[in-house]
Amino acid sequence: MSEERKLTEAIVSELSRSLIEIAWHFGPKGLRGECCDDLTMPEFIALEKVSMTPDCPVQVVGHPLGFTKSGATRIVNRLARKGLIDKVKSPQDARICCVVITEKGERILRSANSRYMQKFKELLAKVPPETVPEVMKTVTVMARSLKR
Amino acid sequence: MSEERKLTEAIVSELSRSLIEIAWHFGPKGLRGECCDDLTMPEFIALEKVSMTPDCPVQVVGHPLGFTKSGATRIVNRLARKGLIDKVKSPQDARICCVVITEKGERILRSANSRYMQKFKELLAKVPPETVPEVMKTVTVMARSLKR
DNA sequence: AAAAATAAGTTGATCATGTCAACTAAATGG
DNA sequence: CCATTTAGTTGACATGATCAACTTATTTTT
C-alpha cells in the first residue's frame, strides 16, 4: 500500500470514527429528558415521517427506521398513547390505517427539532463559520444518498 | 425575525435533520449482522474505548456511552464473554478491574472499523471529492468538541 | 487504630423496545 | 367464488439498560 493510500485510509478512519461519535451523541441517548414528553430518537424519526407523509400507513412509519411492520405497529401505538398522532381507518382501503399527526404532535415535533438544532448549533459554533455552507451541502447529500 | 435569520434557521434545521438520519443509519441498526461476531454499536464504542485506554476501569468504559456503572459492568461482561477483552484486578487498588483488549478483540475492532469505513466511503463517494478534506476537518472538530 | 465514609464493581428485579411467527380482516384476481 | 396477497395486530420471546441494594476494598475522620 502506498504512503498516500495509507494516509487516505487514516483520514477516512478518523472521519468515520468521529461520525459514529456524533451519531451516538445525537442518537438514542442524545435527547434523554431534554425534550418535553421524553421523545426518543426513533420516536422523533417516526413522528417526523408521519408529519411529512399524508395519511401515512403504519408500515411506512417503520421504513426510515428499518423496523418490521410489527415494530412499526408498536412505535405507532406508543405515539398514539402519547397523543401525538391519530390512527384513522382509510375510507378507500379498510385494511390501511392512516396515521396523522395531531396538534400536540406538531408542537412536540417542533420543540424536539429545535432541541436537536440547539445541540447542532453548539457543534457548529466550534467550526470556522465560512465552512458551514460547504458542510451543509455535504451532509445533506450524504443523508439523501441514504434514502435509496 | 429577519429574512436572513429565517434562512439560517431553515439551513440549520435541515442540516441537523440530515445528521440525525445519518446518525440512525450509522447507528444502533446500522451494522446489524454485517460485522463479524455481530458487534453492536455500543459494543463497538466500548471496545474502542478499551483499546485506547490503558488498564481501563469498568466504569470508564461506560463514559463515552453515557451508561451507568451497572450498564458498564454488563457491556464489559458481554465483551468478555465474547473473548474480546480481559478483566484483570488492579495490583494497586483491588477494587478496580482493569479492562484490557485481547488479540481477538483487536482483530474484531479493526474489522468492524473497516466496515464502518466502507459504509462511510460509500457516502463520501457521493460528494464532490475536493470538499472531502474540508468535511473531514469539520466533522473531526465537532466530534472533538463533544468530548468535553 | 477503629469506625465511618467513600468508591468500584456486581446483581436481582424491572422496564423499554424490538423481532418472529401466527393470527385476523380486508382486498384482489383468476 | 375461492385462493392469494396485503395491512395490521398480538403473544412469546430476546436484548439491553436502569435502579437500588449489596459486597469488597480503600480512604478519611476521630
Per residue, what are the HEC states of B29-89? CCCCCCCHHHCCHHHHHHHHHHHHCCCECHHHHHHHHCCCHHHHHHHHHHHHHCCCEEEEE
> A143: Cβ under 7 Å from strand C?
no
Check if A44 contacts B (Cβ < 8 Å). Answer: yes
pLDDT digit string (tens) for A12-69?
Answer: 777 777 777 777 777 666 555 455 567 888 999 999 999 999 999 999 999 999 999 9
A26 and A37, same domain (yes or no)? no
How many structural domains are present in chain A?
A: 2
Domain enclosing residue B1, as ranges: 1-30
Contact between B44 and B53 under an 8 Å Cβ cutoff? The reply is: no
A103 and A52, same domain (yes or no)? yes
pLDDT of residue A82: 94
B86 and B141, same domain (yes or no)? yes
Cell of A105: 404532535
- Residue A137: band (very low, low, confident or very high) from pLDDT cuts 50, 70, 90: confident
B21 and B40, same domain (yes or no)? no
Q: Which residue in this structure is represented by grid cell 445519518?
A: B22
B69 and B140, same domain (yes or no)? yes
B42 and B101, same domain (yes or no)? yes
Q: Of the given ranges (A48-52, A74-78, B29-33), which has the lowest mean pLDDT?
A: B29-33
pLDDT of residue B3: 66
Q: Which of A66, A122, A135 sits opposite B135 (nearest CB)?
A: A135
For the CA of B48 and the C1' of D24, the distance in angstroms is: 29
What residues have CB less than 8 Å from B56, skipping those under 6 apart?
B49, B50, B98, B99, B100
B26 and B42, same domain (yes or no)? no
Q: Return the higher-pLDDT residue of A98 and A3.
A: A98
B17 and B43, same domain (yes or no)? no
Torsion B115-B135-B43-A49 (CA) sign: negative
pLDDT of residue A73: 98
B75 and B100, same domain (yes or no)? yes
Distance CA B13, CA B19 (A): 10
pLDDT of residue B33: 47
Contacts of A145 in chain B (CB under 8 A): 122-123, 126
A64 and A123, same domain (yes or no)? yes
Distance CA B76, CA B91 (A): 20
pLDDT digit string (tens) for A125-134?
Answer: 777 777 777 7
CATH of the domain at A93: 1.10.10.10
What is the number of other CB atoms lying within 10 angstroms of the CB of residue B122? 12
A104 and A131, same domain (yes or no)? yes
B21 and B76, same domain (yes or no)? no
